């Protein structure tokens, strides 16, 4: 007897008119939302996506990219010479998914099971800055910080109560931090009393390290939800 393939396209549908159901059909497959997250700050090559999501196999990544392209979330395009490489890029509609990622990240960070010490991609860190920035803590201050993670560099700017983060040459920033995303997160999201010691131990700092420590005080993870008594 021939078994029916239960993971057919039809089998994934919820048959529900609610937009939430359709959103899950588009982004609910394992790894799909993280692929979208990794493209939020600009296009990436296939190999770069795999490097950012080391637990994702090439086969599954190919499936997710095809599905997201078919849904209109991303497009493939070839960079002009001399690069001449194929990249994947979010459509204008695909970029509108950032509030979903931010809201889910803030909500899940309240879980008692959230482990902030797990691996973190550079884009994941930058989006966490956008999500967890507290304009009240910054109190009108301005800052320009650069971050280097291997071949990738980013610039984060705070001005007029808003934070922006983008891929850019980090040169010229008040402070440029070199290390791992996990190390930067340990300074920013760890206890304030030990921030200077962790910065000295985990990161290489060019420029005004005090500017980065001030910046680190403008973020705070949300309080943990209480686990139901059992």
Per cent of the chain over pLDDT 70 is 95
CB 143 within 8 A of CB 157: yes
Report the C-alpha gap between 66 and 89 in whole angstroms. Answer: 12
> What are the sequence ranges of the domains in the chain?
15-96, 117-216
User: Could you tell me the two tokens for 162?
Assistant: 């808003």
Statement: 15-96 belongs to CATH 1.10.10.10:
yes
Checking if the pLDDT of 61 tops 90, the result is yes
Beta bridge partner(s), residue 157: 144, 164
pLDDT band at 84 (very low <50, low <70, confident <90, very high): confident
Per-residue model confidence as pLDDT tens digits over 20-35: 999 999 999 999 999 9
3-state secondary structure of 101: helix
Per-residue model confidence as pLDDT tens digits over 211-226: 999 999 999 899 999 9
Mean pLDDT of 40-51: 96
State residue 5's pLDDT score.
40
3-state secondary structure of 190: coil
State residue 97's pLDDT score.
98
Mean pLDDT of 199-205: 97
Per-residue model confidence as pLDDT tens digits over 116-136: 889 999 999 999 999 999 999
The 3-class secondary structure across 196-227, one letter per residue, is: HHHHHHHCEEEECHHHHHHHHCCECCCCCCCC
pTM score, two decimals?
A: 0.91
Checking if the pLDDT of 90 tops 50, the result is yes
Per cent of the chain over pLDDT 90 is 87
Burial (0-12, 13-18, 19+ Cβ within 10 Å), 119? exposed
Mean pLDDT of 92-96: 98
According to CATH, the topology of domain 117-216 is Nonspecific Lipid-transfer Protein; Chain A (3.30.1050)
């Amino acid at each position: 007897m021939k078994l029916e393939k239960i993971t057919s396209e039809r089998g994934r549908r919820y048959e529900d008119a609610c937009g939430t159901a359709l959103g899950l059909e588009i982004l609910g497959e394992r790894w799909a939302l993280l692929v979208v997250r990794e493209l939020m700050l600009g296009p990436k090559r296939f190999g770069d996506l795999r490097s950012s999501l080391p637990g994702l196999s090439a086969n599954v990544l190919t499936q997710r990219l095809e599905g997201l392209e078919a849904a209109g979330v991303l497009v493939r395009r070839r960079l002009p010479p001399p690069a001449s490489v194929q990249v994947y890029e979010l459509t204008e509609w695909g970029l509108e998914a950032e509030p979903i990622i931010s809201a889910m990240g803030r909500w899940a960070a309240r879980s008692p099971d959230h482990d902030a010490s797990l691996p973190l991609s550079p884009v994941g860190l930058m989006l966490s800055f956008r999500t967890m920035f507290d304009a009240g803590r910054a109190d009108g201050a301005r800052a320009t910080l650069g971050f280097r993670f291997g071949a990738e560099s980013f610039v984060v700017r705070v001005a007029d109560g808003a934070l922006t983060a983008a891929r850019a040459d980090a040169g010229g920033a008040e402070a440029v931090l070199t290390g791992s995303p996990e190390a930067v997160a340990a300074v920013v999201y760890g206890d304030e009393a030990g921030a200077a010691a962790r910065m000295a131990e985990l990161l290489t700092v060019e420029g005004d390290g005090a500017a980065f420590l001030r910046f680190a005080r403008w973020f705070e993870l949300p309080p943990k939800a209480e686990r139901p008594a059992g």
